[in-house]
């Protein structure tokens, strides 16, 4: 049990969770802390509500399935991406056949500049909108606020899913900007390099803009989905409760205690393991020494959005004032919940103090912003409002997105109906909006699959819709709305 001065933690280990535990918790709840898969320094939480226990059990069953079939999911993903790249490199099915006959078959190779992830196959766009396409030539301290930041961040967050060679090629050769570094960072819990990010500047000398982008949840990566569904947390004194899995992805070394998990400076051995937060922080320090007027922008989609919003939290805790003074914007797309209301209030206060703009963008019924599942499972909540895309990329500025509880079956008919509308629009959007918006067969297939997944939340999570939204959004009137507990919005 924690003392009054000791921050709490509650950690679940799905690997040691048995199905007999699940049955027992659901129907014969006893002392929760007696279960081997639970580590906690708080008094035993009395989960008396059957609904509460049911929602927790659903979460754990999803995690158990990911653990059981994760290797199969990864294998399928590798085969799918290889096949998509094989077809693309050889010009489609007919080109593949002809090249095979000629003996000139082009075989895809992972890690090269022409190997694309499934995200790129659903949306191959790398071009920036006109307002930001000449970024390297036009940005000054006086004009930096004129950049189409929403479009820039949506494209960058999508690009973060690609390999280093692909990213460097796009930044250096397509955008004519300065690629700085790509990071493949260590996760202490997973004991592997599982966190990817990259940094680039608008120019090599006298840079006015520095961009940090974190990779999000890869569709066929079970460990990413395990992290998204994790409901473990730890408490930071005077800050609040924070998602444990996301913090570990950034480089936390102790599962339970902030002070030992996040030292301000690392030992030499720890430095060699290249934890994401520390590696990026050191590079930003160096870049700001040589580019004193540069502004910093941080972005990410999905899991990458969670890391993007937690990164400045650590900068605040470690009093990295030089970096915070240069950090102007944090844009996240389809970001999961990362902390409780106390954490949100702490971040809002420091964002105001440091003049940092935070924009959280949600497309329709995207499942990930509704993860981890909210109360009664965990008391995490978003903060800072929400740019919410409704039908046909219309924008509403909300306090919170509708349907905070993704498992609310009352929303299922509406979600499936809008998923069908999205599919129908995808078939014609290339005609109505121009060739830049024409959807690939891979993207259309994803939308079809979305019709059969409860709630259609996976299809709504595609980075493609976030890029489309950044380019096609419409807002006739600006309305700041709050969502009532019933899910209805009020002006």
| 110-163 pLDDT per residue, tens | 999 999 999 999 999 999 876 544 444 434 444 444 458 899 999 999 999 999
Q: Is the pLDDT of residue 222 over 50?
A: yes
Per-residue DSSP letter, 196: E
pLDDT at 482 (0 to 100): 53
Q: Which domains does the chain have, with CATH numbers?
A: 1-108 (no CATH), 109-490 (3.40.50.1820)
Cβ neighbours for 172, distance < 8 A, ≥ 6 positions apart: 178, 179
Of the ranges 1-10, 107-116, 219-228, 329-338, which one carries the lowest mean pLDDT score?
1-10
Cβ atoms of 171 and 200 within 8 Å: the answer is yes
Active site residue 366: yes
The kind and range of the H/E element at 25 are helix 19-27
Percent share of the chain, pLDDT over 90:
56
Write down the catalytic residue from 151, 202, 230, 366: 366
Span 401-453, pLDDT tens digits: 887 777 777 777 888 888 888 899 999 999 999 999 999 999 999 888 878 76
Q: Pick the closest to residue 371 from 242, 239, 231 (CA basis).
A: 231
Q: Tell whether the model's pLDDT for residue 33 goes beyond 90.
A: no
Mean pLDDT of all residues in 338-344: 95
Question: What tens digit of pLDDT does each residue of 252-302 get?
Answer: 988 777 777 898 988 776 666 789 999 999 999 999 999 999 999 999 999
Maximum mean pLDDT: which of 2-11, 64-73, 190-199, 316-325: 316-325
Which pLDDT belongs to residue 401? 83
H/E element holding 242? strand 240-243
461 labelled catalytic: yes
More confident position, 234 or 254: 234
Q: Is the pLDDT score of 23 beyond 80?
A: yes
Q: Which pair of structure tokens corresponds to residue 320?
A: 């990295």
Closest CA to 327 of 352, 295, 305: 295
Cβ-in-10-Å burial (0-12, 13-18, 19+) of 321 comes to exposed
Picking from 172, 387, 215, 408, the residue whose alpha carbon sits closest to that of residue 301 is: 215
For all residues of the chain together, what is the average pLDDT? Answer: 86
pLDDT value at 169 more than 80: yes
> Rounded to two decimals, what is the model's pTM?
0.90
* Among the ranges given (3-12, 104-113, 161-170), the one the predictor scored with the smallest mean pLDDT: 3-12
Which residue among the candidates 120, 185, 232, 302 is catalytic per the annotation? 302
Q: What is the pLDDT of residue 45?
A: 66
97-128: buried (b, 16+ CB within 10 Å) or exposed (e) per residue? eebeeeeeeeebeeeeeebbbbbbbbbebbeb
Query: First CA to last CA across the chain, in angstroms?
Result: 45
Confidence (pLDDT) at 54: 82
pLDDT at 376: 60
DSSP bridge pairs for 195:
185
- pLDDT given for residue 488 in this prediction: 42
The average pLDDT across 342-363 equals 96
- Residue 3 pLDDT grade (very low, low, confident, very high; cuts 50, 70, 90): very low
CA angle 439, 444, 450 (to 5 degrees): 140
- Pick from 127, 115, 214: which is nearest to 175 by CA? 127
Q: How far is CA 66 from the centre of its chain?
A: 18
Binning pLDDT at 50, 70 and 90, where does residue 213 land? very high
Peptide bond preceding 158: is omega within 30 degrees of 0, i.e. cis?
Answer: no
Whole-number pLDDT of residue 346: 97
pLDDT at 20: 87
* CB-count exposure of residue 245 (10 Å: 0-12, 13-18, 19+): buried
Q: Is the model's pLDDT at 475 over the cut of 70?
A: no
Give dist(CA 222, CA 271) in Å, integer.
27
User: Active-site residue among 243, 301, 416, 461?
Assistant: 461
User: Given this model, what pLDDT does residue 96 score?
Assistant: 95
Per-residue DSSP letters for 390-446? -GGGBEEEESS-S-SSTT-GGGHHHHHHHHHHHHHHHHHHHHHT-GGGPPPHHHHHH
Token couple for 447:
């939308």
């Amino acid at each position: 049990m924690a003392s009054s001065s000791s921050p709490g933690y509650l950690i679940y280990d799905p690997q040691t969770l048995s199905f007999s535990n699940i049955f027992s918790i659901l129907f014969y709840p006893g002392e929760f802390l007696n279960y081997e898969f639970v580590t906690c320094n708080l008094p035993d939480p009395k989960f008396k509500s059957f609904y509460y226990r049911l929602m927790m059990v659903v979460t754990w069953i999803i995690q158990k399935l990911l653990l059981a079939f994760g290797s199969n999911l990864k294998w399928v993903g590798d085969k799918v991406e290889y096949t998509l790249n094989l077809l693309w490199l050889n010009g489609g099915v007919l080109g593949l056949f002809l090249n095979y006959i000629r003996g000139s078959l082009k075989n895809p190779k992972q890690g090269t500049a022409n190997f694309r992830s499934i995200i790129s196959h659903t949306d191959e766009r790398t071009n920036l909108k006109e307002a930001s396409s000449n970024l390297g030539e036009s940005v000054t301290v006086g004009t930096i606020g004129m950049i189409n930041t929403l479009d820039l961040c949506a494209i960058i967050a999508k690009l973060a899913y690609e390999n280093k060679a692909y990213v460097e090629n796009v930044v250096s050769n397509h955008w004519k900007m300065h690629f700085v570094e790509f990071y493949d960072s260590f996760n202490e819990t997973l004991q592997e390099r599982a966190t990817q990010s990259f940094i680039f500047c608008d120019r090599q000398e006298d840079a006015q803009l520095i961009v940090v982008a974190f990779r999000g949840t890869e569709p066929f990566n079970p460990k990413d989905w395990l992290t998204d569904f994790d409901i473990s947390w730890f408490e930071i004194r005077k800050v609040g409760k924070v998602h444990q899995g996301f913090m570990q992805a950034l480089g936390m070394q102790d599962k339970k205690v902030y002070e030992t998990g996040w030292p301000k400076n690392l030992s030499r051995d720890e430095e060699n393991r290249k934890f994401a937060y520390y590696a990026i922080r050191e590079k930003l320090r160096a870049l700001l020494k040589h580019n004193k007027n540069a502004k910093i922008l941080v972005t990410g989609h999905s899991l990458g959005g969670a890391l993007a919003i937690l990164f400045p939290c650590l900068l605040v805790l470690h009093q990295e004032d030089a970096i915070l003074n240069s950090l102007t914007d944090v844009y996240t797309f389809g970001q999961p919940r990362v902390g409780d209301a106390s954490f949100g209030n702490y971040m809002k206060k420091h964002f105001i103090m440091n003049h940092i703009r935070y924009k959280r963008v949600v497309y329709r019924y995207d499942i990930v912003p509704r993860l981890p599942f909210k109360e009664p499972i965990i008391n995490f909540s978003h903060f800072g409002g929400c740019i919410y895309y409704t039908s046909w990329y219309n924008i509403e500025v909300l306090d919170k997105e509708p349907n905070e509880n993704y498992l609310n079956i009352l929303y299922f008919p509406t979600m499936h109906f809008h998923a069908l509308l999205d599919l129908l629009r995808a078939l014609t959007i290339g005609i109505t909006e121009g060739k830049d918006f024409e959807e690939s067969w891979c993207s259309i297939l994803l939308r079809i699959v979305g019709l059969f997944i409860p709630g259609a939340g996976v299809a709504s999570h595609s980075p493609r819709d976030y890029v489309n939204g950044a380019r096609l959004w419409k807002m006739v009137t600006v309305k700041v709305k709050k969502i009532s507990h019933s899910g209805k919005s009020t002006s």
